[in-house]
Amino acid sequence: MSLTPSRHNAEIIAADDPYLWLEEVEGDRQLAWVREQNAASARELETVPGFAKLRERLLSIFESRERIPDVTKHGAYYYNYWRDGQHSRGLWRRTTLEEYRKAKPAWEIILDLDQLGATEKENWVWKGSDILRPSHDRALIFLSRGGADAAVMREFDLNSARFVSDGFNLPEAKSRAAWRNRDSIYVGTDIGAGSLTRSGYPRVVKEWRRGAAIEAAETAFEGTADDVSVTASVVHDHGLVYEFISRATTFFTSDLFVRRGDEWVKIDKPADARVETFTDQILLRLRSDWTVDDKIYRAGSMLAENFNAYLRGDRQFTVIYKSSERSALASTSATKNYLIVNELDNVRNKIFALKHDNDQWIRSEVTIPPFGSVRMRGVDADDTDDYFMTANDFLTPSSLYLGTVGQERPAKLKNLPAFFTADDLEISQHEATSKDGTKIPYFQVGKKDLALNGKNPTLLYGYGGFAVSQLPFYSASIGAAWLERGGVFVLANIRGGGEFGPTWHYAARQENRQRAYDDRRPISALKEVPTEVCWLAWR
């Protein structure tokens, strides 16, 4: 994806497009047109028999407080951002692990956005935080007006639960910031002409020291106006600190620099490769084939090497993950002694742990529940080998587990109740053949005794973009409004997504974008999709 104008885009814009006027998304005429379309849809839907009863049921689902609060550990506390009917803008809060284990934990409210918005007469929307390490007592908080991309940045004292009036504070902009230490941050923001790229993101990274004006901050790095953005990050990894600057040349390519003393050293890597760290190791996640010393490393693989040795020019890689035609690396996470690797094998999660010991990577399997979608992340890589795991599928509500790598089974901490009846439903996985012969997997959910007679209404969904993998998920609304009423739901894993790694994504980009649309056509024609009408939604 390019965020800069192209000749092709210019030709489209120049064409006689009768809907071009809709581009002004906040114009009075445009919004009036949207309200007219919404009203027409509402009139149509509200005449459907049972609409009022279904609307009431769905509203109760959407307003349910039966949700698992997702937490992230910082120091001794587990932080959560929470929204509900009484807190539409949200609460930033924290608790201890002992409390979090309880069905109804006691939470300490750190920041009430509804209260803050009322006091300041602003429509504040939470945009995230960056907490200072290793003290965990200060945070940079980002708040936007009405959910816009641009946000204000404010320093926050976590001990007193108050903003720091003379701290690191920035006005509304598309800012990027990261703590370097207690009295210094890396920041990119709008400080006048030339400070942003043509895409509107920071072009310049500065090191801003406490007490100084932002205008006096020292320039650490400058990109070009044609870059997408330039961003600094600071990684704390098992007692080591890595300071990076990423110069994103496109959406999927970048130059990466690491600080060594007062110098920024460019890391030798393919432009589309992603860099991670684990203790003293550099991890290179490849998006395209890479040839080093006449050896080819396959796209989708992950390579490991000692970080300092790599900077010196050594290329003695260990391949800690090797992709295949029907498998891909989904994610990684760290505990104190292990690197957790989450793999997609034919769009099903498999998880293993790697321990780096005496230059060897020792693999052990991690037991996971037999669900369709599993996510796992280390709780605190500085302290423990504990991990959080969430699991669900189309018919099974989400459950949260707490486990320890090396122990056999994790303990269930929390789970959601069922919001629809699934006893007579079943999940199956199939394949369709696309126009060019490629096998396209898809999941189907419907009645166990489903008659393949072409008369079952089917909702078909696919995405096929930005390397986003479509995995089984529990949807209370689809279950209550569609599956219980006899509908069939199909989730297609079309190209452009990340289900089978970078090659699956690249296969439907740019001049090959048509493949994403070709991939869904044979699915709706198969007997396993017994549909009279398909509702389609993808990009």
3-state secondary structure 368-384: CCCCCEEEEEECCCCCC
pLDDT at 15: 59
Strands of 39-97 (E only): list them: 72-74, 77-84, 87-95
pLDDT at 455: 82
Burial (CB < 10 A; 0-12, 13-18, 19+), residue 412, is: middle
pLDDT at 228: 97
Half-sphere exposure of 472 (CA within 13 A, CB side): 28
pLDDT at 526: 59
Asked if residue 476 belongs to a domain, the reply is: yes
pLDDT at 9: 45
Asked if residue 460 belongs to a domain, the reply is: yes
304 contacts 275 by C-beta, under 8 angstroms? no
The b/e string for 490-510 (b: 16+ C-beta within 10 A; e otherwise) is bbbbbbbbbbbbbbbbbbbbe
Asked if residue 492 belongs to a domain, the reply is: yes
Q: What are phi and psi of 464, to 5 degrees?
A: 70, 50
* Vertex 504 angle, CA 499 and 507, to 5°: 155
pLDDT at 531: 46
Q: What's 147's DSSP letter?
A: T
Asked if residue 294 belongs to a domain, the reply is: no
Q: What is the CATH number of the domain that holds 531?
A: 3.40.50.1820
Would you give the end-to-end CA distance of the chain in angstroms?
Answer: 13
Asked if residue 285 belongs to a domain, the reply is: no
pLDDT tens track, the chain, 539 positions: 333 334 344 444 445 889 899 988 889 999 999 999 999 999 999 999 999 999 999 999 998 989 999 999 999 999 999 999 899 999 999 999 999 999 999 999 999 999 999 999 999 999 999 999 999 999 999 999 999 999 999 999 999 999 999 999 999 999 999 999 999 999 999 999 999 999 999 999 999 999 999 999 999 999 999 999 999 999 999 999 999 999 999 999 999 999 999 999 999 999 999 999 999 999 999 999 999 999 999 999 999 999 999 999 999 999 999 999 999 999 999 999 999 999 999 999 999 999 999 999 999 999 887 778 999 999 999 999 999 999 999 999 999 999 999 998 899 999 999 999 999 999 999 999 999 999 999 999 999 999 888 788 999 999 999 999 999 999 999 999 999 999 999 999 999 999 999 999 999 999 999 999 999 888 866 555 544 434 444 33
Report the distance separating Cα 220 and Cα 261, nearest Å: 12
Strands of 100-225 (E only): list them: 108-112, 124-131, 138-145, 151-157, 162-163, 170-173, 176-181, 184-188, 204-209, 218-222
Asked if residue 445 belongs to a domain, the reply is: yes
For the chain, what is the domain count?
Answer: 1
446 contacts 429 by C-beta, under 8 angstroms? no
Q: What is the domain range of residue 470?
A: 425-537
Asked if residue 474 belongs to a domain, the reply is: yes
Longest dimension (CA), the chain: 73
- SS3 assignment, position 468: coil
The DSSP result for 316-338, as a single string, is --EEEE--BTTEEEEEEEE-SS-
Residue type, 139: A
Token pair of 206 as six digits = 């500065």
Asked if residue 462 belongs to a domain, the reply is: yes
